[in-house]
Amino acid sequence: MNPIRFIPRALAVAAAAMALTGCITLLPKTEPVGLYRFGVEPVAAAKGPPGALFGVFKTPTVFTRASAGDRLLTITNGEAAYIAGARWVSPASILFDEAVARAFEADPGRARLIGRGEVAKADLVLRLEVRSFEAVYVDGPKAAPEVLVQVRGVINRNNDRALVGDQVFEARVKASNNRVGAIVEAYDEATAKVLTDLTGWVSASGAGIK
């Protein structure tokens, strides 16, 4: 069965009590919705003594509106749709930021992500713009889609706002089949690839910081 559902031109939103027991029910007598997440739990890496690290402050991530929420976005022949009966456990923008934080913890480089409200010196400022976060049906709506994750990263020095780097990171991962579980796995793999490349780039960008 094709798991996608095309987006209606106008959306009416109704809120009701929600129960979290492996699925959520929006209204009585409605079909349960499967909950999924992306962002694997990498093992934290030792980064050396505090004096060898440099701080990176990340501004709020800019996310495309269509894919920022809890629905899984797909594209077929230029038409947008959401996968029916499936939701992220939290909005994709939140899950992505959580994945970014874990990626920096797992990266063995010297960059240390400074959390909001944390009292610490930020040497660099990182801005992330998620341009694409979607499953693309390149071979038609019945074939396995290709998950596309594209993120632009911009780094500035904190003291004078000078541009340090500006780069786009992209990963395309073909799902093993057209089922939701396989598509979620492709989302996870594509996100991990982009964040591995991104954290390595940030660490290299701060090589001259003492």
Q: What is the pLDDT at residue 121?
A: 85
Query: Is 9 inside any structural domain?
Result: yes
Query: Is 177 inside any structural domain?
Result: yes
Angle subtended by helix axes 180-205 and 92-106, to nearest 10:
50
Give percent helix, percent strand, percent coil of the chain, each to the nearest 5. Answer: 20, 35, 45
CA distance 164 to 157: 7
Q: 132 and 64 in contact (C-beta within 8 Å)?
A: yes
pLDDT at 93 over 90: yes
Q: 166 and 156 in contact (C-beta within 8 Å)?
A: no
> Which residues constitute the domain of residue 116?
4-205
Query: Is 92 inside any structural domain?
Result: yes
Work out how many domains the chain is built from and give that number. 1
pLDDT tens by residue, 162-193: 999 999 999 999 999 999 999 999 999 999 99
Q: Which residues contact 78 (CB under 8 A, 6 or more apart)?
A: none
Query: Is 32 inside any structural domain?
Result: yes
Cα torsion at 148, 177, 6, 11 (round to 10°)? -70
Cα torsion at 173, 101, 112, 61 (round to 10°)? 80
Q: What is the pLDDT at residue 17?
A: 30
Query: Is 137 inside any structural domain?
Result: yes
pLDDT tens by residue, 26-78: 334 445 679 999 986 665 655 666 567 899 999 999 999 999 999 999 999 99
Share of the chain above pLDDT 90, in %: 68
Query: Is 164 inside any structural domain?
Result: yes
CA distance 173 to 146: 5
Q: What is the pLDDT at residue 53?
A: 87
pLDDT tens by residue, 111-153: 999 977 777 789 999 999 999 999 999 999 999 999 999 999 9
CA distance 177 to 38: 17
Question: Given CA atoms 184, 198, 63, 16 in this order, what sign does their dihedral have?
Answer: positive
Q: What is the pLDDT at residue 46?
A: 58
pLDDT band, very low/low/confident/very high, at 21 (cuts 50, 70, 90)? very low
What element of type H or E holds 4? Answer: strand 4-6
Question: Domain with 85 in it: what CATH number?
Answer: 3.40.50.10610
Distances (CA, A) of 103 to 37, 41, 56, 62, 116: 16, 9, 13, 18, 17
Query: Is 210 inside any structural domain?
Result: no
Query: Is 169 inside any structural domain?
Result: yes
pLDDT tens by residue, 98-119: 999 999 999 888 899 997 777 7
